[in-house]
Amino acid sequence: MSTSAFVDVRRRSARLVGAQVVDSRSTHQPSASALPAASTPTGAQKSEAKNEHKRTEKRSNRELEEEEEEDTAPASTPKTKRRKVAATSRKSSTTQGADADDPPVNVPRKKKGKSEVEPNPVDFPVRVSSPWKVGAHVSAAGGVENSITNAALIGANAFALFLKSQRKWTGPPLKSDSIAKFKSRLETFGYSPCHILPHGSYLVNLGNPDDEKREKSYQCFLDELVRAEQLGLTLYNFHPGSTVGLTTMENSISLIAQCLNRAHKETKSVVTVIENMAGSGNVIGSSFKDLGDIIKQVEDKARVGVCLDTCHMFAAGYDIRTKQGWISMITQFDEEVGLKYLRGMHLNDSKAQLASKKDRHENIGLGHLSLRAFHHILTDERVQNIPLILETPSQENNDIWIKEVEILNRLSTLKLDEPKDAGGEGDEGGQLLDAMMEEIKEVVKKVTATNPKAAKGGGKGSSKRAVKGRKKAGEEDESELSDLTEDD
């Protein structure tokens, strides 16, 4: 500690008890008559002076120790340490020039800079090479660039993400640093933009007959399309909307098409991918005819596509549990929409029965669809090289998706005959599928046992309890348009 700083500390301490401190370096010595008479300090003043004296001694000792560290620091001492010591010295010199009663000047300390190391693919699981691009809807928390590493962690060859909060109309703009990292990691980890299927906000309803509300939805929709293009992505998946019981299905379909035509003119290239729905309430898109009617009214056909959700189609009445059922569904889709518009799929089992019109996602093989339905998909060349995205309950644990991705990739390599009877009794292929199903069930059971609270929350969707909470908070009720994984 410097002499001047030490004198300054002593001066401050002495003045508190009414004493006079004379700086030995000063050339002016005031006369005794010019000095005010010292008053007798009270008990409280003595106590405060004593405490202040202890505090100044502690600060003095600490500053001396830091100066000793600076003097003895080797040449390799990090610059951040030297800046910290230098800041202490500046603080002392600043205090010296001020009045002793003034509070000390706080010099902000610089945080130690840590160079961020970009993730390396060699530290992640090796991904299966397959023309069927299986993945999951992963988290983008902390920045959209994190979705890429989250996908790589589960061995995914495709993935989906939210470009902002799916339950808010607006969100902060994407940071330039996040955009740059997202594009860099795409290349580093070998993901193609055509295998990434961003999911739109649950609040958007382009079929709402109310002009003001539809415009609010459109602006949210447009903002997310712009975000997709900023990231260099080519697809954007959204739920078509609802009549909200105030207009005809035909009118809502026309309103949706009008919004798409407008959005295509205000953006450059991203393809708007319409998702089929389960058919609850006034929701549009549960039939292939609905999807086809929207596309017919879209001017730029190159900018529109369809995403088929297996849980939704099953709930809407399309039975794909048998090979013939799958072929029949694909044939009907081709006739009413067109296979060329199929740009992605959501692979979800169903907790609800066929034609229930209930959108309740279940882990693959554990619902009413069974693993055989997914085998039909994973061996059909017509769905190669498009994103096949899991939206099953993960319980916030990667182990479930890791197992599901693994099983789906294994299904693509199996040649199974259809069971000879309805129950599949004695079928060798059925026994193999049952064994795979048990693998998934065992992982789900293990994860549930370690985290029972997360098990109640399901996957990407929201529960009835959560919807009620949003209503109380004054938020929009998007229950008709969102993907749910909990029973109402």
Q: Which residues pair with 361 in a beta bridge?
A: 350
Q: List the catalytic residue out of 127, 239, 264, 368.
A: 239
Q: List the catalytic residue out of 167, 262, 321, 470.
A: 167
User: Which tokens hold the place of 77?
Assistant: 């001492």
Name the DSSP class of 301.
G
Q: List the catalytic residue out of 191, 202, 236, 341.
A: 202
Catalytic annotation on 239? yes
CA triple 291-353-357, angle to 5 deg:
35
Q: Are strands 349-350 and 361-362 parallel, antiparallel or unpaired?
A: antiparallel
Main-chain dihedrals φ then ψ at residue 464, nearest 5 degrees? -60, -35
Question: CA 327, CA 5: separation in Å to the nearest integer?
Answer: 87
Q: List the catalytic residue out of 224, 290, 293, 309.
A: 309
Catalytic annotation on 368? no
Angle between helices 398-411 and 370-377 (to 10 degrees): 60
Burial of residue 113 (number of CB atoms within 10 Å: 0-12, 13-18, 19+): exposed
Catalytic annotation on 202? yes
Q: List the catalytic residue out of 199, 264, 372, 375.
A: 199
Catalytic annotation on 309? yes
Question: CA 203, CA 190: separation in Å to the nearest integer?
Answer: 32
Catalytic annotation on 28? no
Residue 290 neighbours by CB under 8 Å, 6+ apart: 240, 249, 253, 284
User: Which tokens hold the place of 368?
Assistant: 């009413």
Q: List the catalytic residue out of 12, 214, 312, 368.
A: 312
Q: List the catalytic residue out of 293, 359, 404, 406.
A: 359
Catalytic annotation on 312? yes
Half-sphere exposure of 358 (CA within 13 A, CB side): 15
Q: List the catalytic residue out of 290, 391, 404, 486.
A: 391
Give SS3 for 439: helix
User: Which tokens hold the place of 166?
Assistant: 């799916």
Q: List the catalytic residue out of 195, 303, 343, 361.
A: 361
Nearest to 434 by CA among 348, 380, 370: 370
Name the DSSP class of 425.
T
Nearest to 6 by CA among 67, 57, 72: 57
Catalytic annotation on 341? no
Catalytic annotation on 375? no
Q: List the catalytic residue out of 63, 66, 224, 275.
A: 275
Q: List the catalytic residue out of 11, 343, 346, 372.
A: 346
Active site residues: 167, 199, 202, 239, 275, 309, 312, 346, 359, 361, 391
